[in-house]
Structure 1
């Protein structure tokens, strides 16, 4: 196994987001909400460390599964 670290990238499907704000509660340095409609806004597309852990929580808590976490570099 090599020492390659995992990289994560976050995306939000704004067509499905309902503005529940669970992502902001779980990861406030990664997500915000647009003032106009309350939908999720990404502040940090490639969070690391504890923020990446918080994004995983946000993914689980999103009521409409609008958040996608893409991981690369695992086990490479």
Structure 2
């Protein structure tokens, strides 16, 4: 997950994001905040090897904003 596309691809594959997922940060944020497309009532996201998350990009801001938004809804 060294770049944005890698993050989107991992979420797409692991969560089986809905077909309307737009492959951008706003779309990821929307999908993480509105989980009606998931069969489970709750979910936990575990990021393994987090030091590699967006390693090809300065600062993790692109990922943390949607993750925080989704986390607030789930907490």
Q: In which range does the TM-score fall when normalised by the shorter chain?
A: 0.3 to 0.5
TM-score scaled by length of structure 2: 0.37
**Larger helix share, 1 or 2:** 2
**Larger strand share, 1 or 2:** 1
TM-score scaled by length of structure 1: 0.37
